[in-house]
Amino acid sequence: MDAPAPPARVLESCLYAADLAAAARFYEDVLRLTPFARVEGRHVFFRCGPGVFLLFAPEVTATTPGAVGGVPVPAHGAHGPGHVAFAVADDTLDGWRAHLAAHAVAIEAEITWPRGGRSLYVRDPAGNSVELASPSLWGLAL
């Protein structure tokens, strides 16, 4: 039997936040992602382009299986800060810098990559590293 084709893209990415409500406000209010599913104290799911960004409370999901649409999902989780990068157009990074400042979000680092592209790094309320990056840093188009 032939090996299957490699995955086409990342379908979902997730981070964990002990203070789920504070982190959810950051992704909704500051990054302007649209939530579409929420279980108080457990998770908030956001639309992000053709994929999904998931935010979980680690103390709940690491020990308790969940259910999506009545289908059981195994317990899973991580502890400590993680990282996620969101794709943004290179010519919008100046606007993002101003938007973050207006929300009192400190920019931890700003990088211009040798192969092209730029990134802004900030921290969410849970301490996760959040990157706003032009996809050209990986040789990709938006």
8 Å CB contact between 121 and 113? no
State pTM to two decimals: 0.91
Q: What CATH number is attached to the domain comprising 72?
A: 3.10.180.10
pLDDT per position as a tens digit, 51-105: 999 999 998 888 777 766 677 778 788 888 999 999 999 999 999 999 999 999 9
Q: Which domain holds residue 128?
A: 12-138
Q: Per the domain annotation, does 3 fall within a domain? A: no
Q: Per the domain annotation, does 36 fall within a domain? A: yes
Roughly how many angstroms between the first and final C-alpha of the chain, as a whole number? Answer: 35
Q: Per the domain annotation, does 104 fall within a domain? A: yes
Domain total in the chain: 1
Q: Per the domain annotation, does 74 fall within a domain? A: yes
CA 58 and chain centroid, separation: 15
CA distance 1 to 62: 36
Q: Per the domain annotation, does 23 fall within a domain? A: yes
| Lookup: tokens for 26 | 């950051």
Q: Per the domain annotation, does 7 fall within a domain? A: no
